[in-house]
Structure 1
Amino acid sequence: MRPVRIGNISGFYGDRLNAAREMLDGGPVDVLCGDYLAELTMLILAKAQAKDPDAGYAKTFLTQMRDVLADCVARGVKVVSNAGGLNPAGLAAAIGDLGTGARVAYVEGDDLRGSLEAIQPAVVGKPVSANAYLGGWGIAEALAAGADVVVTGRVTDASLVVGPAAWWHGWGRDAFDQLAGAVVAGHVIECGPQATGGNYSFLDEVTDRRYPGFPIAEVDADGSSVITKHPGTGGLVSVGTVTAQLLYEIAAPAYLGPDCTTHFDTITLSDDGEHRVRISGVRGSAPPETLKVALNDAGGYRNSMTLVLTGLDIEAKAAHAEALLFDVLGGRDRFAEVDVRLLRFDHPDAASNAEATAHLKVTVKDPDPRVVGRSFSNATMELALGGYAGFHTTTPPSAESAFGVYRPAAVPRSAVTHAVVLPSGERRVVADPPTSVSSAAMLTLDVTDAATTPAGPTRRAPLGRVVGARSGDKGGDANIGVWARTDAAHAWLRRFLTVDRVRELLGPEVADLAIEVHELPNLRALNVVVHGILGDGVASSTRPDPQAKGLGEYLRSRVVDVPEALLDA
Structure 2
Amino acid sequence: MTVRIGNCSGFYGDRFDAMSEMLEGGELDYLTGDYLAELTMLILGRDRMKNPERGYAKTFLRQAEQCLGTALDKRVKIVANAGGLNPAGLAEALREVARRLGLDARIAHVEGDDLIARADELGFVDAGQPAPLTANAYLGAWGIVECLGAGADVVVTGRVTDASVIVGPAAAHYGWKREDVDQLAGAVVAGHVIECGAQATGGNFSFFTEIADLSRPGFPIAEIEPDGSSVITKHPGTGGLVSVDTVTAQLLYEITGGRYAGPDVTARIDTAVLSADGPDRVRISGVRGEAPPPTLKVSLNSLAGFRNEAVFVLTGLDIDAKADLVRRQVEAGLAQRPADLDWTLARTDHADADTEEAASALLRCVVRDPDPNVVGRQFSSIPVELALSSYPGFTLTAPPGAGQPYGVFTPGYVDAAEVPHVAVLPDGTRVVIAPAPVTRALEDPSAPAAPALGEFGPTVRVPLGRVAGARSGDKGGNANLGVWVRTDEQWAWLANTLTVDAVRELLPEAASLTVTRSLLPHLRAVNFVIEGILGRGVASQARFDPQAKGLGEWLRSRHVDIPESLLPKGHSA
TM-score (norm 1): 0.97
**Among 402, 409, 412, the residue aligned to 1:406:** 409
Question: Residues 191-236 of structure 1, C-alpha deviation per residue, up to 9 Å, x if partnerless?
Answer: 1000001111012321123311000001111000000000000000
Distance between the aligned counterparts of 2:546 and 2:189, measured in 1?
A: 26
1:159 aligns with 2:164: yes
Aligned to 2:76: 77
Alignment of 1:55-70 (within 5 A): 55-70=54-69
Equivalent in the alignment of 2:370? 367
Residue-by-residue CA offset, 1:442-479 (whole Å, 9 max, x unaligned):
27x64463x75442100011000000000111100111
Q: 2:223 aligns with which of 218, 226, 230?
A: 218
Q: Superposed, which structure 2 residues align to 1:89-168 within 5 Å?
A: 89-98=88-97, 99=99, 100-120=103-123, 123=126, 124-168=129-173
Contact kept? 1:145, 1:422, Cα under 8 Å: yes
Instruction: Measure how far apart 1:122 and its partner are.
Output: 6.2
Q: Assess if the C-alpha contact under 8 Å between 1:174 and 1:433 holds in 2.
A: no
Matched, 1:348 2:342: no
Identity of aligned residues (%): 59
CA change 1:448–1:305 in 2 (3 A) is: closer
Opposite residue 481 of structure 1, the aligned amino acid is G
Distance 2:306 2:444 in 1: 42
Q: What TM-score comes out, normalization by structure 2 length?
A: 0.96
Find the counterpart in structure 1 of residue 461 from structure 2: 460
**Preserved CA contact (<8 Å) 2:78 2:153:** yes
Q: Which residue of 2 aligns with 1:193?
A: 198
SS of 2:5's partner is: strand
Q: How far apart, CA to CA, are the structure 2 residues paired with 1:454 and 1:227?
A: 36
One-letter amino acid of the counterpart of residue 420, structure 2: T
SS at match of 1:539: helix
Tell me the residue number matched to 2:517: 517
- Structure 1 pair 160/121, CA: closer, same or farther in 2 (3 Å)? closer
Structure 1 match to 2:285: 280
Number of corresponding residues: 563
d(CA) in 2 for partners of 1:458 and 1:126?
A: 55
Contact 2:467 2:568 in 1 (8 A): no
Deviation at 1:312, TM superposition (A): 1.1
Query: Which structure 1 residue ranges, 5 or more long, are not aligned?
Result: none
2:539 match: secondary structure: coil
1:230-309 equivalences in 2 (<5 Å): 230-309=235-314
Listed as ranges, the gaps of 5+ residues in structure 2 are none
The question of whether the paired residues in 1 share the 8 Å contact of 2:189 and 2:251 is answered with yes
Displacement, 1:568?
A: 4.6
SS at match of 2:216: coil
Change (3 A) 1:438 1:542: closer
Check whether the contact 2:450–2:496 (CA below 8 A) recurs between aligned residues: no
Alignment match, 1:18: 17
Counterpart secondary structure, 1:164: helix
Q: How far has the Cα of 1:433 moved from its partner?
A: 1.9
1:556 aligns with 2:559: no
Cα distance between partner residues in 1 of 2:535 and 2:541: 6
Q: Distance in 2 between matches of 1:436 and 1:93?
A: 35
Give a deviation string over 1:348-391, Cα, whole Å, max 9, x none: 12221111111111011111111111331111112111111111
What is the Cα-based RMSD across aligned positions, in Å? 1.3
> Counterpart of 1:322 in structure 2: which amino acid?
R
Q: Secondary structure at the match of 1:384?
A: coil
Alignment partners' CA distance in 2, 1:430 and 1:561: 55
Letter in structure 2 aligned against 1:43: L
Q: How do 1:1-40 residues align onto structure 2 when only pairs under 5 Å count?
A: 2-40=1-39
CA contact (8 A) 1:206 1:236 kept: yes
Q: By how many angstroms is 1:329 displaced?
A: 1.4
Taking a change above 3 Å as real, the CA distance of residues 104 and 383 of structure 1, as seen in their structure-2 partners, is: same
Q: Match for 1:171: what amino acid?
A: W
What letter corresponds to residue 511 of structure 2 in structure 1?
A
Distance (whole Å) between structure 1 residues aligned to residue 385 and residue 367 of structure 2: 17
Regions of 4+ moved over 6 Å: none
User: What are the superposed Cα offsets for residues 279-332 of structure 1, whole Å, 9 maximum, x if unpaired?
Assistant: 0000000000000001001111010110111111111111111011110113xx
Within the alignment, does 1:45 sit opposite 2:50 as a pair?
A: no
SS at match of 2:117: coil
User: CA 1:56/1:446 → structure 2, altered by over 3 Å: closer, same or farther?
Assistant: same
